[in-house]
Structure 1
Amino acid sequence: MGGSRFVQKRYSSNRPQMNGAVEAANKSIKKILVKMTDTYKDWHEYLPFALCAYRTSVCTSTDATSYSLVYGMEAILPTEVEIPSLRILSQIELSEAEWARSRYEQLNMINEKRMTAMCHG
């Protein structure tokens, strides 16, 4: 009985040309993290936000976001839910006058909250 030998194999991607795209994506995400973090130790706390920023940013080579390429539509950002953008309003078909009035009221409310915070803070 001969001893069995384990053969160590290295597996590489079936599409080595994709390595450049992966490296470019990683480089972009790293740049975002560097701008967001104070020290290299807290990068993991900001990773979900950096990935969201990367996925919702337009890529110059495809002229689309990676989110839209995967899901077939653009992401709705949390800020667009709180303060609707023209893109969101056009989807729910509000008139321009209604949008302007609603936006004016939202801005006034924000200003009131700011003033309240300054007076009581």
Structure 2
Amino acid sequence: MEAVLPIEVEIPSMRVLAESELEEAEWAKQRYEQLNLIDEKRLTALCHGQCYQQRMARAFNARVRHREFNPGDLVLRKVLHITPDSQGKFAYKYDGPFIVRETFSGGAIILSDMDGTENALPVNVDALKKYYP
């Protein structure tokens, strides 16, 4: 008795086909059908992956809070880098307040200091929160 791998039961190898003594035309026909099934399986896997990505995006977007900033609003900017002289966990988490000068559709905002000095680089909305004096 000879051991057969589980893969060979589902997708027969040349050795298994030689032992079963299939005709060459029938063997070619079976191989062609298997190749067609591979394309179908690939398409179903692709469709499943796209559906999964859409479900994950929908679940993520359901929890996202939409925040809108208008020119003239006061905001605080999150400190994204830690300076060497910071005081560890006692360091400030936010800078500011700043004034919103201009908003863009992609979520970028141009800020200026309270004295009117405009910052050259735009800031992402994710790093801002409204300031209520």
The TM-score by the shorter chain falls in which range? 0.3 to 0.5
Task: Give the structure with the larger strand fraction.
Answer: 2
Q: Scaled by the length of structure 1, what TM-score is found?
A: 0.36
Greater relative CO (CA pairs within 8 A, separation 6+): 2
Q: Which has the higher helix share?
A: 1
